[in-house]
Amino acid sequence: MALHRLGGQTVKLDNKPCIIGRASVVGQKESQGPLGEYFDKIMPDNLWGEKSWEKTECRMVLEAAQIALMKSNKEATDINYMFAGDLLNQIMTANFTARTLGVPFFGLFGACSTLTESMSLGSIIVDGGYADTVLCTTSSHFCTAERQFRFPLEMGNQKPPTGQWTVTGAGAIILSSEGEGPCITHVTTGKVVDYGIKDVNNMGAAMAPAAASTFKAHFEDTDQGPQHYDLIVTGDLGWYGRQLTIELLRKEGYDIEDRYIDCGCEIYNQEQDIGAGGSGCGCSAVVLAGYLLKKMDEGIYNRILIASTGALLSTTSNQQGESIPGIAHAIVIERRGE
């Protein structure tokens, strides 16, 4: 019998895994946005001394992991499992980082939902007593993502109004069975939702239905409405996707607008020429690891519901005229004693 399940998609974690370490590494553009002061390390340029953007992304993740380990007073040998993924073919960034760290590794692909997907699985493993300490990482790089999913940068293609800017950033979170930091109390696993969007420059519209679906399931499963949370967060829907999520949930009887932010709207200033906002696996990763958890430390937020959002397309599916399915995985983060 599944004793911890609430409703169809949510589990309640009795042992409440604790966030004991976190780190964020970002590029120059991200450091110049409104959250720049909250990030742990800022790259000097898009290559950071490496021979390719892909190698740079690997360095970003490794650096974030090492900072998170240092903050938690842990060594790589203390990590029971690493849960990680990214946007590149065969999640190469995660694979190569795990190779360097030499830790037991689960590679994930949830597109830009990978942060909360990794934290969901890591939390369940720790809560179940199968691990004491796990590492969750993800990343994206503007140049690697553009090269893989859209056009060579040399072409200088202009984005339409709905297009977003892929965040150059990597985040790392360390979860433990013991500690004093914020804890994970609930996990709501998303379903794949597809509204038939085919435009690769309108990711917000493709992902928003999945975000609304997961939030609705969470509210129903837990019998807790939006007012139960100080803040409700999505990963990278941008300005258009954020508004669509608000409208979809209103139709279901839930009004989240007064306590809802999207990481893709928060990380940049609109004056930075970023189109409809930020996107990419690194978007929610660095905003959570850098900004939101800092605000929890300060007591600004006590209870956050966050869902990283992913567009499950590939270069192959797009070329074959397929639509873009969306996915969103939600977790609840609470301060100890709340």
Q: For residue 1, what pLDDT is reported? A: 58
Is residue 154 over pLDDT 60? Answer: no
Pairing of strands 18-26, 41-42: parallel
> Measuring CA to CA, which residue among 338, 313, 2 is closest to residue 148?
313
Three-state DSSP at 48 gives coil
In this prediction the pTM is: 0.95
Q: What is the pLDDT of residues 207-240, one digit of tens each?
A: 999 999 999 999 999 999 999 999 999 999 999 9
**Cα(304)–Cα(50) distance, rounded to whole angstroms?**
37
- Angle, in degrees to the nearest 10, between helices 203-222 and 238-251: 40
Q: What is the pLDDT of residues 298-316, one digit of tens each?
A: 999 999 999 999 999 887 8
With contact defined as beta carbons under 8 Å apart, do 29 and 194 qualify? no
**Cα(72)–Cα(180) distance, rounded to whole angstroms?**
11
Per-residue pLDDT, averaged over 87-96, amounts to 93
Token representation of residue 73: 């007073």
Is residue 203 over pLDDT 70? Answer: yes
In this prediction, residue 337 has a pLDDT band, given cuts at 50, 70 and 90, of low
Which residue would you say has higher pLDDT here, 3 or 207?
Answer: 207
Q: Is the dihedral of CA 192, 194, 198, 202 positive or negative?
A: negative
Taken in order of first residue, the domains within the chain and their CATH numbers are: 5-176 (3.40.47.40), 183-334 (3.40.47.40)
- CA 84-164-44 angle, 5° bins: 65
In this prediction, residue 13 has a pLDDT band, given cuts at 50, 70 and 90, of very high
**Cα(94)–Cα(137) distance, rounded to whole angstroms?**
8
**Cα(229)–Cα(240) distance, rounded to whole angstroms?**
23
Query: First-to-last CA distance in the chain?
Result: 29
